[in-house]
Structure 1
Amino acid sequence: MAQTARWIKDGSRLLNQQCRLWGRDICRPEGNVLLERGFHRHRATDGSNASSQYTLQTAPDRLIRLWGFGLYYGGCGEHGSGIFINRFEFEPRLASAAADRWHSATELQHLPRASDAESPLVRDALGWIVGYERWVRLTYGVPYRQRCLIEARSRWSAPHRLPEAWEDLRARMTSASQVPRPSPSATQAHAAC
């Protein structure tokens, strides 16, 4: 149980920071890094200031969606299923990705928790983040990521270690073949807040 609590804590810290970094990548003065990487931006159709959705199809049957509030990784199309991870709560949840559908944070917050059967999807999502951060480091350099961390007011002080931090979390999950989820006492304590 202590190991799972550590995953949730480390995963939450890393994903919160990663969402901040993606935000800095979007605002890069020389151009939006996510668009340069091949993502498609979708804005809320109701004209609100809601978080934009960035979608990248990584394989014929696989896509990743990013929002300011988290990420989706999994299948695509009308019957695509995968996992959603909230940036503040590293507890993967089962999700669906209808083609080009924009989601809101409130729509995704009550999804059922993923089971251990979905742990390969979680590890694959983390693997995608590892690859993205390695690409950023190779393409834009460590000084770029250092600036992003400063601009995002992040406490992380080792931008050259970002891919390795994600890889470490992924390796710990792989060795246990489990999806991180809180202990019942942690869930009860969280619900009481």
Structure 2
Amino acid sequence: MNISLKENTHSRKTTRVGQGWCMPQQILRFGGQLMEQQLWCWGRDVERVEGNLLMEFGFERHRECEIDPQSTCYRLDCDELHVCLWGFGMFFGRRDLGGLFVNRFDFRPGWAPIESLAEGIHWPQELPAFTRPRGRSQWLRARELWSGLLGWIADYEAWVQNANGEAYRSKTVETWLRPFVRAEKMSAAWGFLSRQDWSQQGKPISQLLKCYKLPAETK
């Protein structure tokens, strides 16, 4: 009787391994502020004098109407990868893994078993339901997607730096009302979040994040 009870308890615990986003509050705050800065930067990339940088990267522009730029969705559909960007958030989907939506003001993504979105989505209320994953299988897919999403942004920022130089992104960040992460460190910051190895580095999280942040007096 006791052995059976212990076995059942152990079984319940092991099914929960890998569930949850596993992000401490410091990481949630850092990631949330970085995402707000990133969305601002994407908006400025669209308005770049030399040409729309998102479209140069490969995105297509979709608008509900030409007179309302707030309805614009930028889509990147590349083989198994699907990315959508709006002013209110980001979608990231991959075949066999489903898709994540990250709200501009909430760094905890929602998951859905869909790899791509319909082209006619321009407003938050038009999105399908994205929820907290349930069960080990969904969590494994969602967490792999999450790491991929963060790594994709890191790659995009590295491309921006290589294609336009550090001065371009620095000027972009300077125009943001709440500059938070150093322009030249944005790619590295996203890469740090993607690896999710802060608990293995033997340093306080605050110390690990310090190298990416702008000094307080420059904010």
TM-score by length of structure 1 reads 0.78
2:206 equivalent in structure 1: none
1:81 equivalent in structure 2: 98
Considering Cα pairs closer than 8 Å and 6+ residues apart, tell me whether 1 or 2 has the greater RCO: 1
Per the TM alignment, residue 121 of structure 1 is displaced from its structure 2 partner at its CA by 0.3
Per the TM alignment, residue 107 of structure 1 is displaced from its structure 2 partner at its CA by 3.5
1:4 equivalent in structure 2: 24
Q: Could you report, residue by residue, the CA deviation over 1:84-105 in whole angstroms, capped at 9, with x for unpaired residues?
A: 0011101111244334232412
Matched, 1:107 2:126: yes
Aligned residues: 173
Give distance in 2, aligned partners of 1:14 and 1:130.
12
Per the TM alignment, residue 45 of structure 1 is displaced from its structure 2 partner at its CA by 5.0
Per the TM alignment, residue 73 of structure 1 is displaced from its structure 2 partner at its CA by 0.5
Find 1:130's aligned residue among 133, 149, 154: 154
Task: Give me the identity figure in percent.
Answer: 33
Per the TM alignment, residue 21 of structure 1 is displaced from its structure 2 partner at its CA by 0.3
Which amino acid is 1:133 matched to? Answer: E
2:49 equivalent in structure 1: 29
1:41 equivalent in structure 2: 61
* Within-5 A mapping of 1:163-182: 163-172=187-196
Give distance in 2, aligned partners of 1:108 and 1:80.
18
Matched, 1:155 2:165: no
Structure 2 alignment gaps of length 5 or more: 1-20, 201-219
Which amino acid is 2:131 matched to? Answer: P
Per the TM alignment, residue 7 of structure 1 is displaced from its structure 2 partner at its CA by 2.5
Per the TM alignment, residue 151 of structure 1 is displaced from its structure 2 partner at its CA by 1.9
Per the TM alignment, residue 173 of structure 1 is displaced from its structure 2 partner at its CA by 6.2
Which amino acid is 2:74 matched to? Answer: Y
Q: For the structure 1 residues 105 and 81, does the alpha-carbon distance in structure 2 shift closer, same or farther, using more than 3 Å as the test?
A: same
2:81 equivalent in structure 1: 62
Q: For the structure 1 residues 122 and 88, does the alpha-carbon distance in structure 2 shift closer, same or farther, using more than 3 Å as the test?
A: same
Secondary structure of the structure 2 residue equivalent to 1:31: coil
Per the TM alignment, residue 143 of structure 1 is displaced from its structure 2 partner at its CA by 0.5
Task: Answer yes or no: is the 8 Å Cα contact 1:24–1:152 preserved in 2.
Answer: no
Specify the structure having the higher radius of gyration (Cα).
2
Give distance in 2, aligned partners of 1:25 and 1:127.
19
Give distance in 1, aligned partners of 2:126 and 2:167.
37
Which amino acid is 2:76 matched to? Answer: L
Per the TM alignment, residue 157 of structure 1 is displaced from its structure 2 partner at its CA by 5.4
Task: Answer yes or no: is the 8 Å Cα contact 2:74–2:85 preserved in 1.
Answer: yes
